[in-house]
Amino acid sequence: MKKFKKNIVLLLGCVLVLGLTACSSQAKDSTKSTSKEGNSSNSHYPVTITTYNYEKKPVEITFEKKPENVVAVYQNSIETMLALGLEDNIKMAAGLDHSVKEEYSKAFSKVKYQKQFTPDKETIIMEKPDFILSWYSIFDEKRLGDVDYWHENGINTYMSLNSGASENKTVENEITDILNLGKIFDVEEKSKSIVDGIKKGIDDAKSKVKDQKKQTTLIIEYMDGQINTYGAKTLGGDMVSIVGGELLNPDGGKISEEDLIKLNPDSIFVVYMDRNDKEAAQGEINKVLNNPALDSLNAVKNKRVNSIALGEMYCSGIRTIDGINTFANGLYPKLDK
């Protein structure tokens, strides 16, 4: 009888051990499954992106998750976020040279817009951002300071390449910026769709102008009463090249009215920022057309003085194809007839 009882006890013990082992195995399987699902939903991160510091040296930053509190400053920063459907991730925006494109006005109405054109360091700190998206110029010592301050405090930054981080400003840089933001926010399909649209628009523009006679042009901006020209290494210069134009004064920089008369381009593009002033574009054109000293210019006589929004040809973002088309139609007026 004792031996029988002993066997019963041993048998029950084995059953208990096997039961616990099975339960433990099931628990482990459940944990693996949950972990797998978790990894699947977050498999995009971490993401490492190359940006730049104020010395224009590359800096690698890593995103462990999607940024949730973004400070977006200047036109392309804000509009690219909106185009990617990320308005809910913008904690604060500032620095618009133009009203946001009409198709994004509803999304923009949800965004807190700072009236101070360039927010100061204290204002941004109060917003407790986890990401600052802006231009090279904002990270000088008089504004936000270099990017290392923010990185050391757990706040990632990204500079638009054409804002000064890159020596040569190109359409390809705009494409890179858009794709990088797609990676940062895990919306790569949307960013690729935007880029595909830009590339198709460029191909269409090239096709339209391929049989046109090459035209000369200048991109000018009136600054403090002086004429400043955009050179071949600017984004505007790259756009003119893409649509087959010849940019005069390719080194860029300031020129006098006498220099402008000697260059005598077939057309002129005058840069403007409207900032809610509906007359701004025409006002810049009139500085050329209504100046008697410039009456001899072919561009004036043929009424080929065009306006171009700064947002279309300087860190153009989603307006890149708008800039391409503005240059194409201004260089070759018969295209849009």
pLDDT tens digit sequence for 247-290:
999 999 999 999 999 999 999 999 999 998 999 999 999 999 99
194: its two tokens: 């935007």
pLDDT tens digit sequence for 185-198:
999 999 999 999 99
The residue type of 49 is: I
Fold classification of 211-336 (topology level): Rossmann fold (3.40.50)
Q: Residue 299 and residue 333: Cα distance in Å, rounded?
A: 12
pLDDT tens digit sequence for 206-226:
999 999 999 999 999 999 989
**pLDDT for 295:** 97
Fold classification of 47-186 (topology level): Rossmann fold (3.40.50)
Instruction: Provide mean pLDDT across the span 79-105.
Output: 98
Average pLDDT, whole number, for the chain? Answer: 90
**pLDDT for 1:** 45
- Residues carrying CATH 3.40.50.1980, the chain: 47-186, 211-336
265 φ, ψ (degrees, to nearest 5)? -70, 160
237 φ, ψ (degrees, to nearest 5)? -60, -40
**pLDDT for 138:** 97
Who has greater pLDDT, 9 or 112? 112
CB-count burial class (<10 Å; 0-12, 13-18, 19+) for 275 = exposed
160 Cβ neighbours under 8 A, 6+ residues apart: 74, 76, 77, 134, 135, 136, 177, 315, 317
* Alpha-helical regions (H) of the chain: 2-41, 75-83, 105-108, 121-126, 147-152, 171-184, 188-209, 235-242, 257-263, 280-289, 298-301, 310-313, 320-331
**What is the Cα Rg of the chain in Å?**
29
pLDDT band at 94 (very low <50, low <70, confident <90, very high): very high
15: its two tokens: 């059953």
Q: Residue 82 and residue 101: Cα distance in Å, rounded?
A: 10
pTM for this one? 0.87
